[in-house]
Amino acid sequence: MDCYILLGLARGASPAEIKRAYRRLARRYHPDINPGDRESEAFFRQIVSAYETLIDPGRRREYDAGMIRSTDRATEPAFEFQGFDFSQNLGFRDAATVNELFAEVFTPPAGAWTRPEDGADLHANLTISFGDAMAGGERRVTVTRLERCTACRGGGQLKAPDAMCPHCTGTGSVRWTRHHMVFTKNCAPCAGTGRQQSRACPACAGEGVSVRSEAVPVQIPAGVADGARLRIPGKGHVGRRAGRPGDLHVAITVEPHPLFHREGDDLRVVVPVAIHEAALGAKIDVPTIDGPARLRMPPGTQSGQRLRLRDRGAPSPRDGTRGDLIVEVKLVLPRVIDERSKELLREFGRINAENVRKNLGV
């Protein structure tokens, strides 16, 4: 890169003109004005290097004699700034940022040579019965997902017969003129070779993906709870241009059961009990998710009391251990219609005369 062209100076420019040119360019391309813009930073380094070469009389003499180069090759950006072209009388606009100015140089055209993209996650809902939630098993969720294009196997490109690159007409580099500045850059589609190496896949327009409906198998762990979310890795949208696929997230809804209510991994069931069973104690049959089970009820069981059947609750989806079945006793009074029952209850009352409301102070 020629120091004079870079700074927009004539060969015989005076030190004052060199300083003025440097200040003018620094105001526009200083990294502090364009934070995070690596290209303008690299360009600014070239400007600094050119300025330092020309402002030092000794170095300038050496440079003019062709003994030194101004720019450090290692820090040069991927494009090369070719200098100012004042044949176009556009004038500098102070509002023009480096990003605007360089947009054509640094924004690659949409197409095959841009980088792969990660695929997006997909979300689906699945409603299952209470019994299926307890048993677990495989279900299928139908989703419409971006799949890898089969024609190009996701790469978006097909091998092309050897031919001239149409983007650079075989030269291997592309030229831009923006305002007064002229740039050249390696032609990206052919990587500077000037030959066409591949073409965009016509089936997917170079995106590497196609839309497909798919029934994805979902393994439901036994004991899955209502509101649980299952993640199926890699079953989201596939990434463009062979990028990493996203995940499928399945939100589980478990239908309520008429008898069992879930409390953590425990299940609760309300069981009606006759008055004599509660008073005298009894062995009663209670429903569980595995079928009827025998429960021993101690004498003097109160209405609303909770009894526990170990390991008869829901399986834990984490470790497979089971919660308990909580049996909530509900006392059911008989419909007393016959004289004999009434007589027995009166006698029962006489024998058990204790005031059951004594704690209420009445």
Q: List interacting residues with Zn ion (CB under 5 A).
A: 149, 151-152, 165, 167-168, 187, 190, 201, 203-204
When the beta carbons of 152 and 286 are compared against Zn ion, the nearer one is 152
Query: What amino acid is encoded at 58 in this protein?
Result: G
When the beta carbons of 47 and 201 are compared against Zn ion, the nearer one is 201
CA angle, 316 then 319 then 322, to 5°: 40
When the beta carbons of 198 and 316 are compared against Zn ion, the nearer one is 198
Q: How far is the CB of 151 from Zn ion (least distance, A)?
A: 4
Place of tokens 């101004």: 70
Other C-beta atoms lying within 10 Å of the C-beta of residue 238: 25
Q: How far is the CB of 267 from Zn ion (least distance, A)?
A: 52
When the beta carbons of 189 and 315 are compared against Zn ion, the nearer one is 189
Alpha helices for 65-194 (secondary structure H): 98-106, 130-135
Q: How far is the CB of 179 from Zn ion (least distance, A)?
A: 25
Cβ-contact 244, 118 below 8 angstroms:
yes
Q: How far is the CB of 260 from Zn ion (least distance, A)?
A: 51
Q: How far is the CB of 83 from Zn ion (least distance, A)?
A: 23
Q: How far is the CB of 213 from Zn ion (least distance, A)?
A: 18
Q: How far is the CB of 2 from Zn ion (least distance, A)?
A: 25
Q: How far is the CB of 72 from Zn ion (least distance, A)?
A: 27
When the beta carbons of 171 and 177 are compared against Zn ion, the nearer one is 171
Q: How far is the CB of 212 from Zn ion (least distance, A)?
A: 13
Alpha helices for the chain (secondary structure H): 3-7, 15-29, 38-55, 57-64, 98-106, 130-135, 275-280, 339-351
* Whole-angstrom distance, CA of residue 134 vs CA of residue 226: 11
Three-class DSSP category at 225: coil
When the beta carbons of 101 and 168 are compared against Zn ion, the nearer one is 168
* Whole-angstrom distance, CA of residue 3 vs CA of residue 50: 5
Q: Where are the beta strands (DSSP E) in the chain?
A: 79-84, 122-128, 137-148, 157-164, 173-178, 181-186, 195-200, 209-220, 229-232, 248-254, 261-263, 266-274, 282-286, 293-297, 306-309, 325-332
Alpha helices for 107-192 (secondary structure H): 130-135
When the beta carbons of 165 and 181 are compared against Zn ion, the nearer one is 165
When the beta carbons of 165 and 242 are compared against Zn ion, the nearer one is 165
CA angle, 249 then 255 then 260, to 5°: 125
When the beta carbons of 152 and 220 are compared against Zn ion, the nearer one is 152
Q: How far is the CB of 216 from Zn ion (least distance, A)?
A: 22
Please provide the distance, in angstroms rounded to a whole number, between the alpha carbons at the two ends of the chain.
106
Cβ-contact 144, 211 below 8 angstroms:
yes
* Whole-angstrom distance, CA of residue 245 vs CA of residue 89: 50
When the beta carbons of 187 and 252 are compared against Zn ion, the nearer one is 187
